Amino acid sequence: MTTEQLAVNTIKALTMDAVQRANSGHPGMPMGMADVGVVLWTKFLRVDPTDPTWPNRDRFVLSNGHGSMLLYSLLHLAGFGLTMDDLRRFRQWGSPTPGHPERLPELGIEMTTGPLGQGFGTAVGMAIAEAHLRAVFGSDLVSHHTYAFVSDGDLMEGIASEAASLAGHLGLGRIVYVYDDNNISIEGPTDIAFTEDVLARVAAMGWHTVDVDGHDRGALEEAIIEARAVADRPSLIAAHTHIAHGAPNLQDTAQSHGSPLGDDEIALAKEAMGWPVDSSFEVADEVYALFAEAMARGTEARHAWERRRDDVFVADTDVAAKWTSYWIPDPIVVGSLGYEVGASVATRQASGKALNAIAENAPYLLGGSADLAPSTNTLLDGAGDLQAGSPEGRNLHFGVREHAMAAAVNGMVAHGGLRAYGATFLVFSDYMRPAVRLAALMEVPSIFVWTHDSIFLGEDGPTHQPIEHLASLRAIPNLWVVRPADAGETAEAWELALRRTEGPTALVLSRQGLPVLDRSGKEGLVHRGGYVLRDGKDAVVVATGSEVTVALEAAEILARDGRSVRVVSLPCWEAFQAQDEEYRSGVLGIGLPAASLEAGSTLGWERFVGTGGLTLGIDRFGASAPLKRLAEEWGFTAELVAERIESWLEGQSAT
Ligand SMILES: Cc1ncc(C[n+]2csc(CCOP(=O)(O)OP(=O)(O)O)c2C)c(N)n1
Ligand SMILES: [Mg+2]
C-alpha cells in the first residue's frame, strides 16, 4: 500500500473512531473526501504549522463543516497543534475539536463553519482580500490561493449562488473549490430535491469547471493543477465521491451522513481496507512523515516569503510602513467634522462624511453596498471601484446580494490586513443575518452599515420600515449595534466600530435629517454606550437615534410644566453594558421614573427602564405616509411624547 493510501485510510479510521467514541458526529463526509483531503494537503496547500497565521498562507475553508473530523484529522497529521488526545475528545466540553469547526487561525481553522453556504461565501471574501492586497502590495508580498470544500447542501443554499455570481463577476482566479459531489444529503439521494446541472450553473456565472472521480487521486491532482492554471476565473472541481467510502454496508447511504457507523460496521470497514480491526486512534509514522514533508515545503515557502518581504521593505521603507499600517492599524480618531449645532443632517449623510474622512487615512478600509451606495452614503470618494480589472479599487459593488455581501465582508476581515464594511437598508439586515451572526460567533470585526433605520423613512411603507430589527439584532451575542443620534455621534460610532477588534459592529443610521446636537463636554461618550445629554431630577427618558432629539424637545415642553426630565442618549446597549455599575446607574439615575423612546419594537427596553417603566415604541408594522403624519399617528412628535410621559407620570404619582 502506498503511503498516500495509508494516509487516506488513517483519516477514515480516525473519523470512524472519533465519531464512535463521541457517539455523535458525521463520519460519511470525511471518509468520502479523504482522498481529496490528502491530495490537496500534501501536494498543494501552502500552510505552515510552525507559523499558522503567516499572512501569505493559502486559506483553506471546510464549508461543509459537519465533516469537521476531516479538518481535525488533517490538522493533526500536519502538526497544527491538535493532539491525538484532542481527537479523542471530539465534541466534548472545552476541547478544540467541537462538533463543527470554530475559527481559531492559530490552530489552522480559518473560519467557523456548519451553517451551510457560509464557507462558500466567506471564502469568496478571502479571495477578494487576496486579490486586493496583491494589487496594492505586489505579488512578492501577497500571492496565495483560497481553497474550500463544499457540499450539495452548500450548493443548494441561496448564498452560494449569490457568492458564486459575485466571484464569477470579479474573476477571482485564485479560488479553487472542490465540490463533494456524492448525490447524498440528509433526507436521501439528492435527486429528491436537487437535480440541476450545478457545473453548468456556475459555468454560466463565469467559473471554470471540471468533473473528476473523487477517489482517483491522480485525476484529482490533474484537476487541481488545471484549476490553479486558470487565473481569470474561479474554479469548481466536482469530485464524484461516495459518502462513507469504504464502509461495506453504509457507503452511499444518507444514514452515514450524521450517525456513528457502529462497532460492527467500523470493524468491517477497517478489515476491508487492511486496517488492524482492534486498534483505534492509530497513525503510522510514515503518514506523519508524508505530512511533515508537505508542511516543510510550507515552512520553506514562508521563509522565502519573509526573505522577499525583507528585501521589499529594505528597498522601500514606505512599503514597510504601509504594510504595518494595514496589519496593525493605528486607532482611528475622526475629530470634528465642522457641523453647526442645529443644522439638519441625516446620520447616513454624516456617516458618509466620517467614512470618507477616515478612509483617507485608513487605506486598509474598503467596502460597499448591495446596490444602494447612493442611499447608504458608503461610496469612498476617489478610491476607485474594485473590479476584475481593478482589484486595487476600494469600492465594492456587491450587487443585490446582501447575504453574500455579509459573508464576503466577513471573509475579507478574517483574511487579515483589511477592515471591511457592507451596507444596505436596516430592514434588509434580515437578508444578511446568518452571516452577521457568524461574524459575531467568530469574533470577526466586520462592519455593517444599515440606513433607513425606522418608520421615518416614510412613504416606502411597511415593507421598508424596520420594526423588530433593532431588538432582534441586539439579541445576537457579541454584535454591537450603534444607533447614533446626530452627526457627532455618528463620527464617534465609526471610531467605535473601527477600534473594535473582537466582533462585528452595526451602524444604524437615519434616512431623514436630524438636528446636530450641542454635545460640548460630551465628546467621546458614544464609546461608553450611553450618557446624559440633558440633566433632570424628576424622570429620565432613554432614547436612541432620531428619537433623542424628540426626547430633548419633549423634555423642554415638560420643563415648562415644571417637570425636570433627564434625557439619556443610549446609542449602543452593548458598550453601555460593558461599563461599570457605577457609571451605568449614574447615567440612568436609578430610582427615577424611567421611560424609553425608540421608533421600533419595545422588546428589551425593560432592561433600562425597569418592569414598571414606560416603553414608547412601535409594536406593529409601519405604514406608507409622509414621516410627519406617521409621527402624529403613532405619538412620536415632541408634543405627543411629552403628553404621554406627563400622563404616565401623573398615573405614577396617583398610585
Ligand atoms: C443552513 C443549514 N441548513 C441545514 C443544515 C443541516 N444540515 C447539515 S448537513 C445537511 C445536508 C447534508 O448534505 P450535504 O451537504 O450533501 O453533505 P453530505 O451528507 O454529503 O456530507 C443539512 C441539511 C445546516 N448545517 N445548515
Ligand atoms: Mg452530499
Report the pLDDT value the prediction gives residue 594, as an integer from 0 to 100.
97
Q: Is 489 part of the annotated catalytic residue set?
A: no
Torsion sign over Cα 547, 551, 553, 557: positive
**pTM for the full predicted model:** 0.98
CB atoms within 10 A of CB 264: 9
Angle at 339 between CA 335 and CA 343, to 5 degrees: 150
- State yes or no: pLDDT of 502 exceeds 70: yes
- CA distance readout (Å), 416 to 43, 119, 142, 326, 500: 25, 16, 12, 9, 14
Q: Looking at residue 337, what is its pLDDT?
A: 87
Contact 564, 536 (CB under 8 A): yes
- Cell 464524484 locates to 240
Distance CA 310, CA 304 (A): 10
Counting ligand 1 atoms within 8 A of each CB, the residue from 155, 157, 257 with the most, and so the one to mutate, is 257
Distance, CA 177 to ligand 1 centroid (Å)? 17
pLDDT at 147: 99
Q: If you measure from the C-alpha of residue 273 to the centroid of ligand 1, how many angstroms do you get, rounded to a whole number?
A: 27
- Using CA atoms, how far apart are residues 112 and 96, in angstroms rounded to an integer? 12
**437 in contact with ligand 1, CB cutoff 6 A:** no
Residue with cell 510602513: 321
- The reply to whether ligand 1 has any atom less than 6 angstroms from the CB of 100 is no
Query: From the CB of 257, is ligand 1 less than 6 Å away?
Result: yes
Q: What pLDDT is stored for residue 600 in this prediction?
A: 98
pLDDT for the residue 590: 85
Listing DSSP states for 343-364 in one string gives -EEEHHHHHHHHHHHHHHH-TT
Backbone angles phi, psi at 554, to 5 degrees: -65, -40
Quick one: pLDDT band at residue 99, thresholds 50, 70, 90?
A: very high
Predicted confidence (pLDDT) at residue 333 exceeds the cutoff of 90: no
What does the pLDDT average to over 407-426?
Answer: 98
One DSSP character per residue, 281-329 reads: S---HHHHHHHHHHHHHHHHHHHHHHHHHHHHHHH-HHHHHHHHHHHSP
Ligand nearest to the CA of 254: 1
Residues 286-319: tens digit of each pLDDT: 999 999 999 999 999 999 999 999 999 999 999 9
Q: How far is the CA of 284 from the centre of ligand 2 (A)?
A: 30
Distance CA 647, CA 653 (A): 10
- The pLDDT confidence band at residue 217, using thresholds 50, 70 and 90, is very high
Beta carbon of 418 within 6 Å of any ligand 1 atom? no
334 C-alpha vs ligand 2 centroid, how far in Å?
49
**What ligand is nearest to the CA atom of residue 183?**
2
pLDDT at 335 over 90: no
Average pLDDT over all residues of the chain: 97
- What is the arithmetic mean of pLDDT over 147-165? 98
Which atom of ligand 1 approaches the CA of 180 most closely? Answer: 20
- Written as one string, the DSSP assignment of 12-43 is HHHHHHHHHHHT-S--HHHHHTHHHHHHHHHH
C-alpha 125 to ligand 1 mean position (Å)? 22
Buried b (16+ CB within 10 A) or exposed e, 541-568: bbbbbbbbbbbbbbbebbeeeebebbbb
Give the mean pLDDT of 249-277: 97
Q: What are phi and psi of 410, to 5 degrees?
A: -55, -40
30 CB less than 6 Å from ligand 1? no
| pLDDT for residue 510 is more than 80 | yes
pLDDT of 654 higher than 80: no
CA dihedral (464, 465, 468, 469) in degrees, to 10, reads: 60
Q: Quick: pLDDT tens for 634-653.
A: 999 999 999 999 999 999 87
Percent of all residues in the chain with a pLDDT value above 70, rounded to a whole number: 100
User: Is the beta carbon of 410 within 6 A of some atom in ligand 1?
Assistant: no
| Cα 621 off chain centre by | 29
Per annotation, catalytic residue among 102, 265, 402, 547? 402
Interatomic CA distance for residues 87 and 39, integer angstroms? 22
With pLDDT > 90 as the criterion, what percentage of the chain qualifies? Answer: 97
> Which of 398, 500, 370, 485 is closest to 447 using CA atoms?
500
Which residue's CA lies nearest to atom 15 of ligand 1?
Answer: 153
Which among 77, 80, 72 has a CA at the least distance from the CA of 49? 80
Task: Determine if ligand 1 sits within 6 Å of the CB of residue 182.
Answer: yes
Does 628 have pLDDT greater than 90?
yes
Residue 655 has pLDDT above 90, yes or no: no
Looking at the CA of 150, name the nearest ligand. 1
Query: What is the distance, to the nearest Å, from the Cα of residue 78 to the centroid of all Cα atoms in its chain?
Result: 27
The answer to whether 237 and 223 have CB atoms below 8 angstroms apart is yes
Pocket test for ligand 1, best of 68, 157, 186 (most atoms within 8 A of CB): 186
> What pLDDT score was predicted for residue 85?
98
Measured in degrees and rounded to the nearest 5, phi and psi for residue 565 equal -110, 125
d(CA 378, CA 356): 8
Angle made by CA atoms 207, 213, 217, in degrees to the nearest 5: 100
**Non-local CB neighbours of 314 within 8 Å, separated by 6+ positions:** none
**Smallest CA separation from ligand 1 atom 19, residue:** 185
| β-strands 235-240, 344-346 pairing | unpaired
